[in-house]
Amino acid sequence: MSHSISAFQAAYIGIEVLIALVSVPGNVLVIWAVKVNQALRDATFCFIASLAVADVAVGALVIPLAILINVGPQTYFHTCLMVACPVLILTQSSILALLAIAVDRYLRVKIPLRYKTVVTPRRAAVAIAGCWILSLVVGLTPMFGWNNLSKVEMAWAANGSVGEPVIKCEFEKVISMEYMVYFNFFVWVLPPLLLMVLIYLEVFYLIRKQLSKKVSASSGDPQKYYGKELKIAKSLALILFLFALSWLPLHILNCITLFCPTCHKPTILIYIAIFLTHGNSAMNPIVYAFRIQKFRVTFLKIWNDHFRCRPEPPIDEDLPEEKVDD
């Protein structure tokens, strides 16, 4: 069955394609930078690379699937369910990566002398693997039965049809709002976000306390060490703020859908919320480029070496200070 695309749908598809064209190259550049610059190999930047992998998948997989759903094809129920689940997996992966980053920055300022013995590359790799496994479990829960199949089957049988239901593929038609609100939002989104806010508040408190006391915490100038930590923490807290700003509106709309089924939700608000969630995947590389010098220098080197054919000298992996623009 052919579907004609309205002007509104065409505009939606155009915006989604634009987001994908920014998100995929930008986050590939982040992963590339972590790979080529040894100075970006500590735990925090490995977690950032894991976050970038999820953002690449949003641009390369989730956005095309969202466009497909927007067109509204007729599919089997479980086919539509498989199309809807990737965004749940990748959202959860992003949240857990942000939580891992927050915990890592906390440990850097709480136990600076023991940090390298506590946060080893092996433990960081295990943490990243654990985040992705947990994300798969949370995101694929609808495939294990917590979905709207029973409701759809009742409507399907009422029409005298047999076999697996064929439906117009829409997210809310296959994904249970009880799952989205009670399990996804109230358990796996909101508590981690609140925990991260508390962690960053504690990080800023500890750094300010050390800067005011000027207590030596490691070899070198403690003012420089904690000043660097403060600037990086500000940048990573900004990443967290942008993530919350991008995802909370959609979750709030889900809550309205569940708790007030008769309430009218303007279509434009729904589309804005969707654009914010997808657009978040394109924001992080921009923040890194403008605020973290190691990323900015590495991005420029990659650009000059591979795209402008003007090789740059090797990156100084022992920069005197992690400069972060205010």
Domains in the chain: how many in total? 1
Q: Is residue 2 part of a domain?
A: no
Tokens of 150: 């029973």
Q: Is residue 221 part of a domain?
A: yes
As a residue count, the chain comes to: 326
Q: Is residue 97 part of a domain?
A: yes
Q: What's 138's domain CATH number?
A: 1.20.1070.10
Q: Report residue 20 CA to chain centroid gap.
A: 14
Q: Give percent helix, percent strand, percent coil of the chain, each to the nearest 5.
A: 75, 0, 20
What does 254-297 look like in DSSP terms, one character per residue? HHHHHH-TTS---HHHHHHHHHHHHHHHHHHHHHHHHH-HHHHH
Q: Is residue 321 part of a domain?
A: no
Residue with tokens 């660097």: 228
Task: Answer for the pair 95, 189: CB distance below 8 angstroms, yes or no.
Answer: yes
Q: Is residue 282 part of a domain?
A: yes
Q: Is residue 98 part of a domain?
A: yes
Low-confidence ranges of the chain (pLDDT < 70): 1-4, 214-220, 309-326
Q: CA-to-CA distance for 231 and 325, rounded, in angstroms?
A: 8
Q: Is residue 319 part of a domain?
A: no
What φ, ψ does residue 166 adopt, rounded to 5°?
-105, 125
**Measured CA distances, 82 to 85, 86, 243 (Å):** 5, 7, 25
Q: Is 209 helix (H, G, I), strand (E, B) or coil?
A: helix
pTM: 0.91
Q: CA-to-CA distance for 12 and 279, rounded, in angstroms?
A: 13
Helix axes 293-306, 7-36, angle to 10 degrees: 100
Q: CA-to-CA distance for 244 and 133, rounded, in angstroms?
A: 22
Q: Is residue 313 part of a domain?
A: no
Structural domain range at position 55? 7-306
Give the pLDDT confidence score for residue 6 in this predicted structure.
Answer: 81
Residue partners of 99: CB distance under 8 A and separation at least 6: 192, 195, 196
Q: What is the CA radius of gyration of the chain?
A: 22
Question: Which among 137, 139, 142 has a CA at the least distance from the CA of 176?
Answer: 142
Task: Answer for the pair 127, 119: CB distance below 8 angstroms, yes or no.
Answer: no
Tokens of 187: 């358990």
